[in-house]
Amino acid sequence: MLFNTIEFSIFLPLVFLIYWFIVNQNLRLQNAFLLLSSYVFYGWWDYRFLSLIIFSSIVDYLIGNRLHRETVESKRKLLLFTSLAVNLGFLGFFKYYNFFIDSFVDAFTIFGGSLEPSRLNIVLPVGISFYTFQTLSYTIDIYRKNLEPSKNLVSFFSYVSFFPQLVAGPIERATNLLPQFYAKRVFNAQGAADGLRQILWGLFKKVVVADNCAAYVNEVFSNYSELSGSTLFLGAVFFAFQIYGDFSGYSDIAIGTSRLFGFNLKKNFAFPYFSRDISEFWRRWHISLSTWFRDYLYIPLGGSRVGMQKKIRNTFAIFIVSGFWHGANWTFIVWGVLNALYFLPLLLTGRNRTFTNNVAEGKLIPSLREIFQMLTTFSLVCIAWVFFRSKSVTESLEFINGIFSRSFFQAPELFAKPTFYITTFALFILLFVEWIQREKEHGLVLTYKLHFIWRWSIYLLLVSLIFSFPGTKQEFIYFQF
């Protein structure tokens, strides 16, 4: 069930009304109702994959409780390994089986051999990468004795399958989300109103920005060999905004929806395209994933407490694994390596923690130096996004080579399309609002004392844009991960 569909527009109010007006007197009943609603939401795509999420939930619930009681370290490690094997085994089979088969065949062919192994027609379960990491963090935290295991089966199952963030995050830690299922929830009108504003802003980013950008992106990447360098450049820029509007829009809707039910999820995006270097960008982009890799991979490898050689190794490890997490294609691995190379000069010079505040903090206009830093960082990110979007590494290199050709100075072919200007106007609104709001939790936080006429004028403007200029409906990009 997509957030931007008629089905969800019926599903959400219905669940909200039952949750607050029928089952609100009993916490266990509320949690059971959320669990049922989450399974309906997830099963809307393919009910067969509910068995996977239920099985993973059972395994980690049992292992978590056994881990807490077990005192023999060798047995505790075996239990943790079992959880890792089950969860990563499912993820590896459904997401990477054909990738490894194809890569093995290609490598074998290089040496003159010939293989014809059978590929499987495997359908990737929606959201498997997200809920797998969510359940893994639960068992790892119990193993580290940072978390008490859940003794309530329904609460734990609800935590794993909580529908607002089940399919594309944020990836929630049990230390943050699970205790919220234990506590009685009281309706907060102010929090719900802010949640609705965040949902509205997320829908604007998805429907008006991302889906309109997608039309140009699809055309440019499908015909890159026939287009000028300037058009390819615009295609890369539009994809940068497509993936941002798409993914951060999903996160906004997920976080806003959660607040309607009395839950607070972690912030997943912090206006990343206003970053002044690549390190700051990765502290602001997909925060729940980057911090997951930091806490469960980078720090266990030694983090920054080791010598420079191992720091470099650890940095490349998290970026390569991050790339591999995103998809079964060498383009994602190259994307990860390229970001690690971007990060390397900052690491070597000890400047990877230079920018921990907001750009132009307390000011309306950034300095020329800050503008240059933001444009440089954005340009590097756009080049990396080409690998992320392309079908192959060869196509990526040809695309980038086309950008840096003489035709870069020609007028882009996209200028001839009338809807190009509508999309550009939507990007202007996005950048203007988020620049003004860059020190807030999301783009539509209204802490100013605005008269209700001005506030409702903003809401109506966004709603009218959503209904007047929707692009061709696209699935959320991160559903494939």
**Amino acid at the residue 108:** F
Please give the Cα distance from 7 to 478 (Å, whole number).
20
Q: Which residue matches tokens 């001005």?
A: 454
Give the CA distances from residue 74 to residues 77, 79, 82, 142, 150, in Å, rounded to whole numbers and listed in that order. 5, 9, 12, 15, 23
* Catalytic-residue membership of 326: yes
How do the pLDDT tens digits run along the chain, 481 residues long?
778 788 889 999 999 999 999 998 899 999 999 999 999 999 887 788 898 899 999 999 999 999 999 889 999 999 999 999 999 888 887 777 666 565 555 555 555 555 555 555 566 677 788 889 999 999 999 999 999 999 899 999 999 999 999 887 799 999 999 999 999 999 999 999 999 999 999 999 999 999 999 989 999 999 988 899 999 999 999 999 999 999 999 999 999 999 999 999 999 999 999 999 999 999 999 999 999 999 999 999 888 888 899 999 999 999 999 998 888 788 999 999 999 999 999 999 999 888 989 999 989 999 999 999 999 999 999 999 999 999 999 999 999 999 998 888 888 877 677 778 889 999 999 999 999 999 999 999 886 667 778 888 888 999 999 988 877 777 777 666 6
**Of these residues, 68, 286, 326, 451, which one is catalytic?**
326
CA-to-CA separations, 379 to 118, 273, 424, in angstroms, rounded? 41, 10, 18
Q: Is 350 exposed, middle or buried (0-12, 13-18, 19+ CB in 10 A)?
A: exposed
Q: How many helices (H) and strands (E) does the chain have?
A: 19, 0
Residue 31 is encoded by which pair of tokens? 């949690």
Q: Name residue, tokens 């329904």.
A: 154
**5 neighbors 253 (Cβ within 8 angstroms):** no
Contact criterion met (CB below 8 Å) for 281 and 272: yes
Q: How far apart are CA 247 and CA 167, in angstroms?
A: 11
141 close to 49: Cβ distance less than 8 angstroms: no
Contacts of 222 (CB under 8 A, 6+ apart): none
Structure tokens that stand for 405 in this block: 């050709």
DSSP 440: S
Q: Which contiguous run of DSSP H or E holds residue 7?
A: helix 6-21
Cα distance between residue 179 and residue 31, in whole Å: 12
418-452 burial: b if 16+ Cβ within 10 Å, else e: eebebbeebbebbeebbbebeeeebbbeeeeeeee
CA–CA distances in Å: residue 395 to residues 51, 400, 452: 38, 9, 51
CA atoms of 401 and 82, how far apart (whole Å): 46
Q: How far apart are CA 438 and CA 435, in angstroms?
A: 5
